Structure 1
């Protein structure tokens, strides 16, 4: 059983990534993670991230054990090259090539477990728009009695349904719905008469 994973457009030169990849090619997964942990190269981070992604694919999709996996093949191919220029003396320009690479990783089993079928995921049946109730949607319902509501709160009759519940939208809460400060619009006599800047 083979498990594949790949990462594209890694902003590193393929030569530098191959130095790291050649160390762990053909080794068991756990041992290769230990070796990469103590390798002093910048290309270690994308390789470790890809290796962990391949292990997660094997465990989740195919229900394989991590102890039974090894790195079968790893290839580092060249990606696109960004062409840039560096100004030099006497009006010259030196070309700069910012290379990228694609890393392809294939894991295989040390002892074959004969698991071929992928793990079946439960698919939830789609909900029709007409049959969806208010409680299932993203609208939050606050239960309040109409008698307890203050007169200062302005509530339209359209916001109240038959049971006397106030329907508020969850998405309007938080940053958008700020609390209003009482007396914020009131300007005193002192502020009108004595300005900070006199002209």
Structure 2
């Protein structure tokens, strides 16, 4: 049995989020939540919320929450906000504020 949660348009870079997601993939949910809680960067906090949401979805479906593992975390690129930063001599530099679509899939597994 599986449980899934999706967070769209999150204001974190997909590349940085994938680095954090690699550390958590395949772990039991309790260990994954502990690792994300104590990882000191922004994508870890966002992933923590999405994993908790997937866990809450699983508890609604009468699934044994204690035996769940993080089967997959998919981080796709969302739309990019384009901004300008004024620079010297009348120039302007492009700034790209990237967003992410994050999908977490939890599955029942062996501990």
**2:63: which partner in 1?**
64
Q: CA RMSD in A?
A: 1.0
User: Which protein is richer in helix relative to its size?
Assistant: 2
Shift of 1:66: 1.5
Per-residue CA deviation, residues 102-139 of structure 1 (Å, 9 max, x unaligned), is: 0011111015xxxxxxxxxxxxxxxxxxxxxxxxxxxx
**1:84: which partner in 2?**
83
Aligned length: 110
Shift of 1:68: 1.0
TM-score normalised by structure 2 residue count: 0.94
User: Which protein is richer in strand relative to its size?
Assistant: 2
**1:73: which partner in 2?**
72
Shift of 1:36: 1.3
**2:27: which partner in 1?**
27
1:41 correspondence with 2:41: yes
Q: Distance in 1 between the 2:104 and 2:26 partners?
A: 11
Larger radius of gyration: 1
**Structure showing greater relative contact order (alpha-carbon pairs closer than 8 Å, 6 or more residues apart):** 2
Q: Which runs of 5+ in 1 are unaligned?
A: 112-199
**1:167: which partner in 2?**
none
Q: Which runs of 5+ in 2 are unaligned?
A: none
